[in-house]
Amino acid sequence: MRTTAIKVFSFYRDGFAGMTVGKSLWKIIIIKLVVMFAVLKLFFFPNFLKHNFETDEQRANHVLEQITRQVADNN
């Protein structure tokens, strides 16, 4: 078990160490994920229903209100 774990660890360590173009790609992936999750998601793409309502019942009521609003307006 321990030997297998060491082998797997070495496999990944050597793989990452031996990368050429892969190093630049990993940098791009990390920067991209940071920008997406720590900037875009956090500040620009909040989940509207999770952010504004506490329970599923409130969310359901809000959506139901939205989709029947036309009828309410006409009345």
Partner 1 sequence: MIDIDPSLVNWSRAMFAFTAMYHWIFVPLTLGLSFLCAFFETIYLKTGDEQWKTITRFWMTLFGINFAIGVATGIILEFEFGTNWSNYSWMVGDIFGAPLAIEGIFAFFMEASFFAVMFFGWNKVSKGFHCFSTWMVAVGSNLSAVWILVANGWMQNPVGMAFNPEQARFEMQNFAEVVFNPVAISKMTHTSSSGFVMASAFVLTVSCWYLIKRRHVEMAKRSIIVASVFGLVASMFVGFTGDEAAYEVAQKQPMKLAAMEGLYKGERSAGLVAMGIINDAKSPGDVQDAFLYKVKVPGVLSLLANREFGSFVPGIDDLVWGNEKENVMGVNTMMEKGRHALTDLAAFKEAKKAGQEDAAAEALERFNVNQKFMGYGYLDTPEEAVPPVAIVFNSFHLMAILGSLFPVIFGAFLFFTLKGNVTEQRWLLPVGLFTALLGLLAQQAGWVTAEVGRQPWAIQGLMPVKIATTNLSTASVQITFAMFAAVFTMLLIAEIFIMLKQISIGPEGH
The two three-digit tokens of residue 73, written as one number: 């307006």
Binding mask 27-56 for partner 1 (x = CB under 8 A): -xx--xx-xx---xx--xxxxxxx-----x
Contact 33, 27 (CB under 8 A): no
The least distance separating partner 1 from the CB of residue 4, rounded to whole angstroms, comes to 14
Nearer to partner 1, 4 or 20 (CB): 20
The CA distances from residue 20 to 11, 25, 26, 45, 60, in Å, are 16, 9, 11, 35, 51
The two three-digit tokens of residue 64, written as one number: 């139901």
Residues that bind partner 1 (CB under 8 A): 11-12, 14-16, 18, 20-22, 24-26, 28-29, 32-33, 35-36, 40-41, 44-50, 56, 59-60, 63-73
